[in-house]
Amino acid sequence: MTMRKPSAFRSWDPSLPVPGYGPYKAVIQYIVDGDTYDAIVDVGGRSYPYWTLRLIQASGMGVDTPETNRPASREAGLAAKAFVIDTMPIGTQVVIRTAPDPDEFGRWLAAVTIPGNVDLAAALIAAGHATPKRFTVARSARPGEA
């Protein structure tokens, strides 16, 4: 799914500095699986969009949890989802830093910090529910970098 930008932003002047993409305050509304969540996000200007977030590490490197919709990985995927539900239940206030553009499924790539200043991706990896993923976000698009 490709997200369309307003025409006024399609040919943005490359000499202008790249804006930061967070930190944003967000509240978790739904947990799809171990690495995908829905949240209401405070983007400023009295705007509170509902975004689907795809978890990445704070470094911009990807992270992957087993799929819940595939028989071979279903049990491990449900364990990863249960870990997230226990660690970051619905209604949890989090801080996110996003990449500038959504992924091919329309999800915002986001590093998620949960209460206690815990990096959710690092917690999932440490618990054995996730592995680093090979894709990386371009340096100019890493979460929180301008």
How do residues 21-76 score in pLDDT, each as one tens digit?
Answer: 889 999 999 999 999 999 999 998 889 999 999 999 988 888 999 999 999 999 99
Whole-angstrom distance, CA of residue 69 vs CA of residue 93: 27
pLDDT at position 4 is 64
pLDDT at position 73 is 93
What is the band of 5 on the pLDDT scale with cuts at 50, 70, 90?
low
pLDDT tens digits, one per residue of 86-143: 999 999 999 999 987 777 788 899 999 999 999 999 999 999 999 998 765 554 445 5
Torsion of CA 21, 36, 117, 101, to 10 degrees: -10
Pick the CATH number of 20-141 from 3.30.300.30, 3.10.20.30, 2.40.50.90, 3.30.1300.30: 2.40.50.90
Beta pairing class for 131-136 and 118-119: unpaired
pLDDT at position 72 is 93
Q: Which sequence spans correspond to the domains of the chain?
A: 20-141
Beta pairing class for 93-98 and 24-33: antiparallel
Whole-angstrom distance, CA of residue 9 vs CA of residue 20: 16
pLDDT tens digits, one per residue of 126-138: 999 999 987 655 5
